[in-house]
Amino acid sequence: MHSEACEALKRQGYQFFTPTSSAALKPCMWNKRALRGGEMCYKHRFYGIESHRCIQMTPTLRCNQRCLFCWRSFEHEVTEEEECPPEVILASVKRLQKKALSGYKVSSYVEPERFSEALDPNMVAISLSGEPTCYSALPELIDRFRDGGYTTFLVSNGTRPDVLARCRPTQVYISLDAPDRETYLRICRPRRDYWERIGESLALLGSRRSAIRITLVEGENDFAPDRYAAMIQDSGASFVEVKGYMHLGYSRYRLERDQMPLHDRVRAFADLIAEHCDYAIRDESPVSRVVCLEQRP
Ligand code: SF4
């Protein structure tokens, strides 16, 4: 892995599983907030996930897209690596999470009971950065997490339906960031045109606990709610999350701050989608600018 990129990520709090792979974890902001007894992330509100017991990780930082809204750098992309085997990830995941949270133990804001709960994580969100389906042993890794007693959320860009078909996470997310092929190619900038493959991935969702995630970028993909609705309807996904783009990380060099939609705009777009399909608003989190829709029974 590119050492410069690796050092920059370490400074941002990434913990790497091995020196030669890009498999990494990093506790998210909500994990730390929950540790201090503060608010939990919207996944707690929507799905009952306890943020302080959640590990945010990825088995690889490689990706086959270069989305405008992505917070990672495209300057030092990981193209080659020695993949970290699933058994190594399982064997070190709690130790690395503990290392990442070690500074919090001494804080007077953190209750000892909550801290010891955080050291016994029960949820893995495979969603840190990179595209997890680019990791060759993803199905096995997810099975091992499940056998180890973890709930697993897998977030994928949907470009590798053949891999997704073999994965059995508790909940799978597929990103749908465009209502049509042309917009997809402009915003997600894939290595090849994977639009058809995303359709194939969406078709896998109806038989599983699943969610479609739409990252709404003002002036880029916030149009044609009826077309989004048609694709959602065809997929049969359990949930849809319409989420506002956040002006963070390296995306700040590609997009403007005012392309972050306010929550009212996200809600209005979700309402328009709901008007065109059999999904209804289930919940929303204004602080995270996300609205959750659920398939009507
Ligand atoms: S698919 Fe995900 S990791 Fe890859 S460029 Fe897009 S947002 Fe970033």
User: For the residues 99-123, what does the mean pLDDT come to?
Assistant: 78
Q: pLDDT tens digits, residue range 10-37?
A: 888 899 999 999 999 998 777 777 777 7
pLDDT at 63: 94
Q: How far is the CA of 130 from the centre of ligand 1 (A)?
A: 6
Which residue has 């080659």 as its token pair?
Answer: 80
**Residue 80's pLDDT band (boundaries 50, 70, 90)?**
confident
Domains and CATH numbers, the chain: 3-295 (3.20.20.70)
Contact 33, 51 (CB under 8 A): yes
pLDDT at 105: 63
> Which of 32-46, 73-87, 139-153 has maximum average pLDDT?
139-153
Residue nearest to atom 8 of ligand 1 (CA): 70
Q: pLDDT tens digits, residue range 256-282?
A: 999 999 999 999 999 999 999 999 999
The two tokens of residue 173 are 């997310």
Residue 65 CB less than 6 A away from ligand 1: yes
Query: How crowded is residue 234: how many other Cβ atoms within 10 Å of its Cβ?
Result: 14
pLDDT at 26: 92
Pairing relationship of beta strands 54-58 and 24-25 according to DSSP bridges: antiparallel
Is the per-residue pLDDT at 106 higher than 70? no
**Residue 185's pLDDT band (boundaries 50, 70, 90)?**
very high
SS3 109: coil
Q: pLDDT tens digits, residue range 215-267?
A: 999 999 999 999 999 999 999 999 999 999 999 989 999 999 999 999 999 99
Residues 155 and 58: their CA atoms lie apart, in Å, by 10
Residue 202 CB less than 6 A away from ligand 1: no
**Residue 67's pLDDT band (boundaries 50, 70, 90)?**
very high
Residues 277 and 228: their CA atoms lie apart, in Å, by 9
Nearest atom, ligand 1, residue 72 CA? 8
Residue 67 CB less than 6 A away from ligand 1: yes
* Apex 287 CA angle, 262 and 187, nearest 5: 50
DSSP code at position 100: H
| Of the candidate ranges 23-32, 78-87, 173-182, the one whose mean pLDDT is the lowest | 23-32
Is the per-residue pLDDT at 107 higher than 70? no
Residues 255 and 1: their CA atoms lie apart, in Å, by 27
Residue of higher predicted confidence among 102 and 272: 272
Residue 128 CB less than 6 A away from ligand 1: no
Question: DSSP states of 174-204 as a string?
Answer: EE---SSHHHHHHHH--SS--HHHHHHHHTT
Mutate which of 26, 71, 157, 198 to test ligand 1's pocket (most atoms within 8 Å of Cβ)?
157
pLDDT at 272: 98
pTM of the model: 0.92
Residue nearest to atom 6 of ligand 1 (CA): 67
User: For the residues 72-81, what does the mean pLDDT come to?
Assistant: 79
Q: Please, which residues have CB within 8 angstroms of residue 158's CB and are 6 or more apart in sequence?
A: 164, 174, 175, 176, 194, 197, 198, 201, 202
Residue 215 CB less than 6 A away from ligand 1: no
**Residue 118's pLDDT band (boundaries 50, 70, 90)?**
confident
DSSP code at position 83: P
